[in-house]
């Protein structure tokens, strides 16, 4: 049997869809529109799609385990904690946790968490500056 492929989001809705993250607890797919500056949530069982504008380039969204409506996102060079109900078009409580490579033209490209909760983020170079990989230890 050939695999079945389903187009989830129309191209007109996103400029650059990246950073998909499946949340088993909510049975939802989170992803970002990097250059469109939105975070997205898609629920396959209902086909419901919601999004919220961030206002900066964003390369990943990861739910915070055990914290309802809290997510870690990247915004340009920053790791940011946000509150989002997954429904509204606005986020609240943006809290900068860390900024990488201050005063150097780089940007966070992608990020994932390992099973112990550490965040690993890749850095892309801009204008010839060095790339890198960062590990961010979770806060208790």
Q: What is the DSSP letter of 114?
A: -
Annotation-wise, does 68 bind a ligand?
no
3-state SS assignment for residue 86? coil
- Distance, in Å, from the CA atom of 90 to the CA atom of 69, rounded to the nearest integer, reads 12
- Distance, in Å, from the CA atom of 43 to the CA atom of 34, rounded to the nearest integer, reads 20
The answer to whether the beta carbons of residues 37 and 20 sit under 8 Å apart is: no
Backbone angles phi, psi at 35, to 5 degrees: -85, -20
CA-nearest of 84, 12, 87 to 54 is 84
Annotation-wise, does 18 bind a ligand?
yes
Q: Which residues are annotated as a binding site for a divalent metal cation?
A: 18
Per the annotation, binding residues are 18, 109
* Residues annotated in a binding site for substrate: 109
């Amino acid at each position: 049997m050939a695999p079945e492929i389903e187009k989830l989001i129309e191209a007109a809705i996103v400029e650059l869809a990246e950073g998909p993250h499946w949340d088993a607890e909510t049975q939802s797919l989170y992803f970002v529109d990097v250059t469109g500056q939105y975070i997205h949530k898609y629920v396959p069982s209902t086909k419901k799609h919601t999004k919220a504008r961030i206002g900066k380039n964003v390369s990943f969204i990861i739910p915070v385990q055990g914290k309802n409506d809290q997510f870690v996102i990247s915004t340009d060079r920053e790791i940011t904690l946000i509150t989002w109900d997954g429904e509204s078009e606005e986020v609240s409580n943006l809290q900068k946790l860390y900024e990488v490579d201050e005063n150097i033209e780089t940007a966070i490209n992608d990020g994932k968490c390992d099973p112990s909760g550490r965040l690993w983020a890749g850095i892309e170079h801009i204008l010839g500056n060095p790339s890198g990989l960062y590990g961010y230890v979770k806060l208790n």
